[in-house]
Chain A
Amino acid sequence: MSKYMLLQDKSRCIGCLACTIACKINKGLGPGPKPVDVISLGPILRDGKILGQFVFMPCFHCEEPWCVYACPTGAMKKRPQDGIVYVDQSLCVGCKSCIYACPWGAPQFDIEKGKVVKCDYCKDRLDSGQLPACVSICISHCLKFGPANEIEDKRRRRYAIESSQFPTQ
């Protein structure tokens, strides 16, 4: 896996899709490809409660990326220094092997260029000291990005509070 993690705090996500659009803009994409998407589940009514969830779907940047193995031209690569899986579009011939290979549908096809495009954690932005496009604008700050063991994760504290009788303020 890459040394980074892109964590979605589901309790804060409102499914606004600003991340999807920011990603497309950063990658110069027209209608169609969505390197990151937010899958809306529900809402449903269960036991008198309304349930709904938004699931953020970027690329997982696998340790053993099937897309890289599937790529016949060497366009799909893993960055040695941080494990980011990315596509070198100058080598991509648009065969879509990576799209078939990925179990999660992360690589997308940019029909305007005839090439694959995918989430690369915005390595262009990372290399100049910025956050990935999706994280930088996230409306509710529900997306957190950084080295995997340094990310603030409020879930343990939240669970502890919810399951206790302690006043929280």
Chain B
Amino acid sequence: MAKDVYSLCFMCTVRCPIKVTVEGDRILWIQGNPFVAGIEGSLCPKGVSAIALLEDDQRLKYPMIRTGARGSGEFKKVTWDEALDYVAQRLKGIMETYGPQSIVLGERTNLSTHVSKTFLRAIGSPNHFTHDALCKGSNNTAFRSLFGYTDAEVGIDYANTKHIVLYGRNIFEAVEVKAVNNLLDAMEKGARLTYIDPRVTTTATKAHRYWMIRPGTDLALNYALMHVILKEGFYDKEFVDKWVVGLKELKEFLEPYTPEWAQEETGIPSREIILLAKELNEQRPHVIFHPGYRAASYTNEIYQRRAILMLNVLMGSIETKGGLFFKKGPGEVGKKAPRKLTDQEGLPKPKQVRFDKVGTPNFPLPDPNHGVPQMLAKAILEEDPYPIKALIANRFEPLLSIPDRSATLKALEKLELILTVDVNFSDIAWYSDVILPESTFLERIDCVQQANGLKPQLFLRQKAVSPRYDTKEYAVIIKELAERLGISQFFPYNTMEDLVRWQLEGTGFTIEDFSKKGFVAYTDQQIFWDRFNGLKLKTPSKKIEFKSSLLEESGFPSFPEYEPVKRPEGNEFRLVVGRCVLHTHVSTQNNPYLNELCPTNVVWINSKRAKDLNISDGQMVKITSPQGSGVLKAFVTDLIHPETVFILHGFGHESKGLKRAYGKGVADALLQANVSDTVGGSPGLHETFVTVSAEL
């Protein structure tokens, strides 16, 4: 008898709700959860391919301890007890010699992140970080500077918008299933799409207006847009007068930034900029300037993101249908959220400076809940602020996601212990001393997902089938490690089910409530705050701070003068990177189906520039930066800005454990310089100039 298990996908971090049809211990079918609006059965190609991950004999299958040199790929298979005893003994030794702060744990944010944080706090280390800052740290800071909320606490109502403006947010390739459907539905009702990107993507083909902007000049465009909007009075005066601090200062500041000025910098005709402002004036407040998904391109990133958010505020598209809204939690309806292990009384709060110096004058503003991971190599190599001796990487890939792979590799050599917990034989797993294999999302229950939104809900990842190999759930692995380190009092569970039940105590829901549809709702009604009297802003002024106390108290300006973006010279190009619909960051390149359809990256290069360099379409070319070089096939096209070359992120794996993906393509991290937006916290992933040559 087949049965349906409602769960959450984890082929990417979006975590779409899914329905897994199971017979015995075999998966018959995976599709989107039919009960969730905007999903209704649909799934992306990564989610569809999950079944191949489950059955893949190239995934991590059992605990292993390294026997050969680091990076040799020589490991021995061990039991869980042997592996955990070994890790515990090594960690104890390192803590005794260097102190607990010498242990760093990095992960991609996941439902068990509170378990990792609890573990580090219990051993006395402040050094937990997530991948988030590498992706959107500056967006987080930009949101806090204006609203007092992080980017993760604000949602987007695609379904009711009349116009969406996307700055490189390639929404139809870097997909969230719900957003894709809701936006397409809005477009069927007449919504307009404006897409701005130095490269033509699938999203550009769906757009009503496409601008091939000169890379890096989005801030110039936004200064000019705001200039026009303020000059012509194309904004929501009632909303802005009520909520905004610093409108007058902004208006004065923007005086010189005319559309004619922006045309020179961005390449976008001034009349087009004015036309867009006019059009939006008709459609506001149901207008979205998309804040961005990845927000880690330039060293002025936080100001670009603030400008986008200020444009939303000027449109009045805050806390309104078809605009942005603040996500509501269970507290909004007088209910309790699921507990997290970090809520426990008596859990220590280590006071030392973090390895990345977040919270010090070096990085006063980035969110310490996520840290600044791109400082990892520097901290290890320079032992600044202190020696780092152990890295625990949970589903995190420093070698392919932190810029300057060579520096990261050099830093890894200085570590006394590298432990990887993952499902994939990732590059960092290949370089690890110990590998602990996690069960895939289809083989485990996970911690409860608190899905705040217009209607606060809870989702649960349910176990669809039993583990195919000798793997465990991450939270159980950490619990078993904690027992060996004498800190098990902070981990009040033996199984995932125990932990979920513990989390749900006080919420009014039980684990059984999730079996029918995969989720439970705290309320049936959408909650919008009163946008004229009831915005619960968390800035010091309780207003929307164009003039930001967060920035200015740390000595940063609210409105910085525009600095012209450097143009590449000679045979240089600005390296721009991005995603395609068939892959998730660095984690799916070895999936049999996804690998078949998209096995490698190529380098996009403008036709005229290619001709000057004697490069023809399909030819192998060498791409070189001060950090590294690689050889890729050229894709010669008119549909990319002449100053730019583009490659897909996620390729160039050097782990031979990934037999399908090994050696295919070039890693962007190999080429990229490690520079940061020190105000916002993101790395500047598009701040590297490369040369492209027909000589290999």
Q: Answer yes or no: are A and B bound together in one complex.
A: yes
Closest chain B CB from A114 CB (angstroms): 19
For chain A residues 39-61, which have a beta carbon within 8 Å of chain B? Answer: 42-43, 45, 49-53
Binds A, one of B42-50, B72-80, B138-146, B521-529: B42-50
Closest chain A CB from B564 CB (angstroms): 27
Q: How far apart sit A136 and B34, CA to CA, in the bound complex (Å)?
A: 10
For chain B residues 197-217, which have a beta carbon within 8 Å of chain A? Answer: 200, 202, 204-207, 210
Q: Does A148 contact B (CB under 8 A)?
A: no
A52 in contact with B592 (CB, 8 Å):
no
A138 in contact with B42 (CB, 8 Å):
yes
Query: Across the interface, which residues of A come within 8 angstroms of B175, CB to CB?
Result: 14, 16, 139
How many A-B contacts are there with CB distance less than 8 Å? 103
Binds A, one of B100-108, B180-188, B241-249: B180-188
For the complex, would chain A's binding face be called helix, strand, loop or mixed by DSSP majority?
A: mixed
Who on chain B is nearest to A138 by CB? B42
Who on chain B is nearest to A133 by CB? B29
Who on chain A is nearest to B177 by CB? A139
A137 in contact with B32 (CB, 8 Å):
yes
A17 in contact with B42 (CB, 8 Å):
no
Binds B, one of A20-28, A70-78, A79-87, A98-106: A20-28
A21 in contact with B202 (CB, 8 Å):
no
- Among A16, A24, A45, A169, contact of B581 (Cβ-Cβ < 8 Å): A16
Who on chain B is nearest to A41 by CB? B205
Query: Across the interface, which residues of B come within 8 angstroms of A43, CB to CB?
Result: 200, 202, 204-205, 639
Given contacts A21-B597, A25-B48, A139-B177, contact A14 B581 (CB under 8 A): yes
Q: Does A154 contact B (CB under 8 A)?
A: yes
B205 in contact with A20 (CB, 8 Å):
no
Query: Across the interface, which residues of B come within 8 angstroms of A147, CB to CB?
Result: none
- Among B43, B188, B593, B594, contact of A139 (Cβ-Cβ < 8 Å): B43
Q: How far apart sit A148 and B181, CA to CA, in the bound complex (Å)?
A: 24
A139 in contact with B204 (CB, 8 Å):
no
Q: How far apart sit A135 and B44, CA to CA, in the bound complex (Å)?
A: 12
Which interface class (under 10, 10 to 19, 20 to 34, 35 or more) fits B? 35 or more
Closest chain A CB from B682 CB (angstroms): 27
Q: How far apart sit A5 and B561, CA to CA, in the bound complex (Å)?
A: 59
B49 in contact with A140 (CB, 8 Å):
no
Q: How far apart sit A148 and B638, CA to CA, in the bound complex (Å)?
A: 41
- Among B44, B205, B206, B207, contact of A16 (Cβ-Cβ < 8 Å): B44
B41 in contact with A137 (CB, 8 Å):
yes
B200 in contact with A141 (CB, 8 Å):
no
Q: How far apart sit A50 and B195, CA to CA, in the bound complex (Å)?
A: 11
Chain B 169-181, CB within 8 Å of chain A: the 1/0 string?
0001101010011
- Among A45, A52, A133, A154, contact of B188 (Cβ-Cβ < 8 Å): A154
Query: Across the interface, which residues of A come within 8 angstroms of B202, CB to CB?
Result: 14-15, 43, 52
For the complex, would chain B's binding face be called helix, strand, loop or mixed by DSSP majority?
A: mixed
Q: Does A163 contact B (CB under 8 A)?
A: no
For chain A residues 1-39, which have a beta carbon within 8 Å of chain B? Answer: 11-12, 14-18, 20-22, 24-26, 30-32
Q: Does B251 contact A (CB under 8 A)?
A: no
A50 in contact with B593 (CB, 8 Å):
no
Which interface class (under 10, 10 to 19, 20 to 34, 35 or more) fits A? 35 or more
Q: Does B40 contact A (CB under 8 A)?
A: yes
Q: How far apart sit A141 and B182, CA to CA, in the bound complex (Å)?
A: 11
Q: Does B51 contact A (CB under 8 A)?
A: yes
Q: Does A161 contact B (CB under 8 A)?
A: yes
Q: Which of A21, A51, A158, A168 has the most CB of B within 10 A?
A: A21
Who on chain B is nearest to A125 by CB? B29
Q: How far apart sit A11 and B202, CA to CA, in the bound complex (Å)?
A: 12
- Among A26, A42, A50, A53, contact of B210 (Cβ-Cβ < 8 Å): A50
- Among A20, A49, A161, contact of B597 (Cβ-Cβ < 8 Å): A20
Query: Across the interface, which residues of B come within 8 angstroms of A138, CB to CB?
Result: 42
Query: Across the interface, which residues of A come within 8 angstroms of B207, CB to CB?
Result: 50
B49 in contact with A21 (CB, 8 Å):
yes
Q: How far apart sit A25 and B206, CA to CA, in the bound complex (Å)?
A: 29
B48 in contact with A50 (CB, 8 Å):
no
Closest chain A CB from B608 CB (angstroms): 13
Q: How far apart sit A158 and B593, CA to CA, in the bound complex (Å)?
A: 35
Query: Across the interface, which residues of B come within 8 angstroms of A22, CB to CB?
Result: 48
Closest chain A CB from B212 CB (angstroms): 9
Closest chain A CB from B589 CB (angstroms): 14
B32 in contact with A50 (CB, 8 Å):
no
B204 in contact with A50 (CB, 8 Å):
yes
Q: Which of A16, A136, A154, A161 has the most CB of B within 10 A?
A: A16
Q: Does B271 contact A (CB under 8 A)?
A: no
Query: Across the interface, which residues of A come within 8 angstroms of B172, CB to CB?
Result: 14
Q: Does B31 contact A (CB under 8 A)?
A: yes
Query: Across the interface, which residues of A come within 8 angstroms of B177, CB to CB?
Result: 139
- Among A18, A26, A51, contact of B44 (Cβ-Cβ < 8 Å): A18
Closest chain A CB from B636 CB (angstroms): 14
Who on chain A is nearest to B183 by CB? A140
Closest chain A CB from B36 CB (angstroms): 13
Q: Does B505 contact A (CB under 8 A)?
A: no
Q: Does B262 contact A (CB under 8 A)?
A: no
Query: Across the interface, which residues of B come within 8 angstroms of A140, CB to CB?
Result: 42, 180-181, 184
Closest chain B CB from A132 CB (angstroms): 12
Query: Across the interface, which residues of A come within 8 angstroms of B49, CB to CB?
Result: 21, 25
Q: How far apart sit A45 and B199, CA to CA, in the bound complex (Å)?
A: 12
Q: Which of B177, B184, B205, B207 has the most CB of A within 10 A?
A: B205
Who on chain B is nearest to A162 by CB? B190
Closest chain B CB from A151 CB (angstroms): 17
Q: How far apart sit A39 and B200, CA to CA, in the bound complex (Å)?
A: 18
B189 in contact with A168 (CB, 8 Å):
yes
- Among A15, A31, A168, contact of B190 (Cβ-Cβ < 8 Å): A168
Task: Please list 24 pairs of residues, one from A and one from B, whose beta carbons are closer than 8 Å in the complex, sorted by A's number.
Answer: A14-B180, A15-B202, A16-B44, A16-B175, A16-B581, A16-B582, A17-B45, A17-B597, A21-B45, A21-B593, A22-B48, A30-B592, A31-B592, A43-B639, A50-B205, A51-B205, A52-B204, A137-B31, A137-B47, A139-B43, A139-B180, A139-B181, A140-B184, A158-B188
Residues of B within 8 A of A (CB): 29-32, 40-45, 47-49, 51-52, 162, 172-173, 175, 177, 180-181, 184, 188-190, 200, 202, 204-207, 210, 581-582, 592-594, 596-597, 638-639
Contacts beyond the supplied A21-B45, A137-B41: 16 A-B pairs with Cβ under 8 Å: A14-B206, A15-B202, A16-B44, A16-B175, A18-B48, A20-B45, A20-B597, A21-B49, A21-B594, A25-B51, A52-B202, A137-B32, A139-B42, A139-B175, A140-B42, A169-B162
Top 9 nearest A-B pairs (CB, nearest first) are A52-B205, A168-B190, A18-B45, A14-B172, A137-B43, A31-B596, A16-B581, A21-B593, A21-B48
